[in-house]
Structure 1
Amino acid sequence: MRRLQTPLWLARPTRFATLSHTGARIALALIALLLAATSLAFDTPAPPAASGDAAQRADDHADVVLYEGIVESMRHGGDYYTVAAAALRGGNYPLKPFVTFRLPTLAAVQALLPPAAVLALLWTLCIAVAVAWHARLKPAFARAPPRIVAMVLLAGGLVMFVQPSLIAFHELWAGLLIALSLAVRMPGRWIEAAALGLAAMLVRETAALYVAAMACLAFAEGHRRESAGWAATLGVLALAVAAHAHAVAQVVEPLDPASPGWAGMMGFGFFVRTMTITTALTQAPLWLAAPLVGLALAGWAAWREPLALRAVTVFALYAALLGVAGRVDTYYWGLLVAPTLLVGLAFAPDALRDLLAAALDRRRITVKRVVR
């Protein structure tokens, strides 16, 4: 048997450390394939760059301006569905099917609060995410310097979430709620996490992928009560969506345009591209940012914690969603998982060292039986 080496950054060896010689080589090949696949981002079109001109904001951030207009009309007494239908028609947006209307949760909350209070709520949620993840990551690292690096990487995933100009984006809030839910969930303590997951779904229904993953993983681990709790939140979402569909049907007219669909089929490269746009990687050239996304995923896969399995599963599900249903103009779906992705880079040094040590190890013990 091979003696496990002392970790570089982590408090204990990664899950790759115990792989066999052959298993480590297979894992290295898979990581190399993953890094090669990130180059698909070069063949994926990026959304048009913002002009930076305040006068062109309606064109640069059309969806944000749409949501801001809905909230402002509600502050003046407008009904959400009537106001949203008028705004969608005015902006030449589709009104069919009903999912073209966002759930009213976020708009209702923002309409009740002054803009300064909404911004304070957003920043408070960002701080809560940082505090919760610091608590979860602290035991993972043996020393303070790598722990600081991990928190800097977390901050790199939150750069889009503190921008006041994007405060009307539903994915912004849902992504923070998912990140906070993932951090606070622990074995035997899941009610708070499930409640945060429900809040995320009521803001943006695509957060249901996260909740479904949590329910399935809890069931697979034998936590039947927890799994049922997560499933119950999906039932609440189903009731909310049914009521939402009924309300939308009351304001949609026969001649209103329908959506062309969401089968963008952009592939894995689009997921990589969205991660480079929605995190601090947007400041790096694509030839560097794209493989870093793959390396972050590999780092998450290496961390020997149930939390890491959940994170990797969630990343994989949203990569599939973006790759199949995403379009160039829906790149902001990546905000649902952007906050925590880059943290995986903090696990990568130990992951690669453990894999190389296992793959290159040639020591063998030969046991001989001597008969006297």
Structure 2
Amino acid sequence: MAAAGIRLAAPTRFAGLSNRAARIVLALAALLLLLACYSVIDAPGPRLASDAAGESGAAGGMTDRMLYENIVSDIRYGDNYYTATATELRRGHYPLRPFITFRLPALAVIQAWLPQWLSPLLLYALVAAVVLAWMVRLRTVFTGPLPTAMALLLLAGGLVACVQPMLLVFHEIWAGLLIALSLAIWRPGRWIESVSIGLAATLIRETAGLYLGLMFLLALVEGDRREALGWFIAATVLAVVVAFHAHAVAMVVRPLDTPSPGWMGMLGYGFFVKSLASATVLVAVPGAIAALLVTMGLYGWASWRDPTALRVLVTLTGYATLIGIFCRADTFYWVMLPAPLMLVGLVFVPCGLRDLIAAALDTRRITVTRVLR
């Protein structure tokens, strides 16, 4: 019987492993868990601003939240997005070079056009859409309603930052929710809606382009050329938008403007775990426990034998790698891109461990006897 009464409607990915393969996987999983817990010991934590909104900006004490709010306010009062952003970046002593220090304009322009009371409602509506989409996706995966309810609770634990109105100016929140929604509605042979929502995520935050690339590669590996073409077209649209964006930024940047210190943070998996904890319900547990739960969540996604699970696993692993290598301590909020779905994988862990341990302990042998007449 699966732990806590959790039963999948189909066997997990580890159910059919041979005895030897199961033992190897079990040993590797145990090793990775130990390494994950060890990685947080000396890992740097995110550099939190005084209002828990983002990086500590400059000498004047401007935070990222204040920066984005000021840009929206400037646009609302008639300024151009690029001149407003350049002005606010200089005021806060932020870098203006290269062009990727400027966010894509879509979110700020839309929020400036909308009444102030409407943006939080749209954010809550998007959160509700993500929850509903995953409820529909998971309700047939388990044999009873309890595991689905547990999965939705875990999903809620990853949405902690997404329901705080003070953070709605952060591009990563909107992009992360759209990625989660895109994954929820994806089906084999039904990908147009998923591609469209994934493209919308990238037009808000260009780092969501990693999601487009990973989905393109998975479609190619699985031999679905039409879907691969869809993701490729979306990536091409993003590339064109970024090219126009770079040109617009070049028109407002001055030769003496501050350059970025770069993004090769090389802070590792422990930093990813600590950053994820700061944006989710894991903020309430010790670092080693958070590392254990995050890694077990990835194991859970690997356990579910389903094309959607594979896409979620690849997406989460891709962003964990991106953040561990390129993120700086003051850009920890990149973790909001994978945060919504990271903990949901925990609901698959009991069945995954049950099947893996059973396969590892299975010592049955089949003896074939030939009867001669």
Pairwise CA distance, 1:5: 9.0
1:244 is matched with 245
Q: Which residue, out of 13, 19, 31, partners 1:33?
A: 31
Q: What is the DSSP-based 3-state SS (H/G/I as helix, E as strand, rest coil) of the residue aligned with 1:71? A: helix
1:299 is matched with 300
For 1:98-147, what per-residue CA distance to the aligned partner results, in whole angstroms no more than 9, with x for missing partners? 00000001001000001210000000000000000011111111111111
Pairwise CA distance, 1:8: 4.1
1:69 is matched with 70
Distance in 2 of aligned mates of 1:323 and 1:351: 26
TM-score in terms of structure 2 length: 0.94
Pairwise CA distance, 1:188: 1.8
Counting only pairs closer than 5 Å after superposition, residues 1-372 of structure 1 correspond to structure 2 as 8-39=6-37, 40-49=39-48, 51=50, 62-372=63-373
Structure 1 unaligned spans of 5+: none
- CA contact 1:37–1:269 (8 Å) conserved in 2: no
- Match of 2:325, as an amino acid? V
Pairwise CA distance, 1:49: 4.8
- Match of 2:309, as an amino acid? A
- CA contact 1:58–1:65 (8 Å) conserved in 2: no
Distance in 2 of aligned mates of 1:371 and 1:190: 58
Question: C-alpha root-mean-square deviation of aligned residues, in Å?
Answer: 2.1
Structure 2 unaligned spans of 5+: none
Identity of aligned residues (%): 54
Call closer, same or farther: CA 1:52–1:94 in 2, change over 3 Å.
closer
For 1:148-193, what per-residue CA distance to the aligned partner results, in whole angstroms no more than 9, with x for missing partners? 1011001111111010110100000000010001111111211111
- CA contact 2:264–2:325 (8 Å) conserved in 1: yes
- CA contact 2:44–2:267 (8 Å) conserved in 1: no
Distance in 2 of aligned mates of 1:37 and 1:168: 35
Pairwise CA distance, 1:349: 0.3
Distance in 2 of aligned mates of 1:82 and 1:274: 32
Q: What is the DSSP-based 3-state SS (H/G/I as helix, E as strand, rest coil) of the residue aligned with 1:314? A: helix
- CA contact 1:37–1:268 (8 Å) conserved in 2: no
For 1:62-89, what per-residue CA distance to the aligned partner results, in whole angstroms no more than 9, with x for missing partners? 1111001100111000100001001000
Pairwise CA distance, 1:219: 1.6
Q: What is the DSSP-based 3-state SS (H/G/I as helix, E as strand, rest coil) of the residue aligned with 2:296? A: helix
- Match of 2:338, as an amino acid? V
Stretch of structure 1 that moved more, 347-356 or 61-70: 61-70
Pairwise CA distance, 1:47: 2.3
TM-score in terms of structure 1 length: 0.95
Distance in 1 of aligned mates of 2:371 and 2:352: 41
Equivalent residue pairs, number:
368
For 1:268-310, what per-residue CA distance to the aligned partner results, in whole angstroms no more than 9, with x for missing partners? 2222222222211111121211100010000000001000110
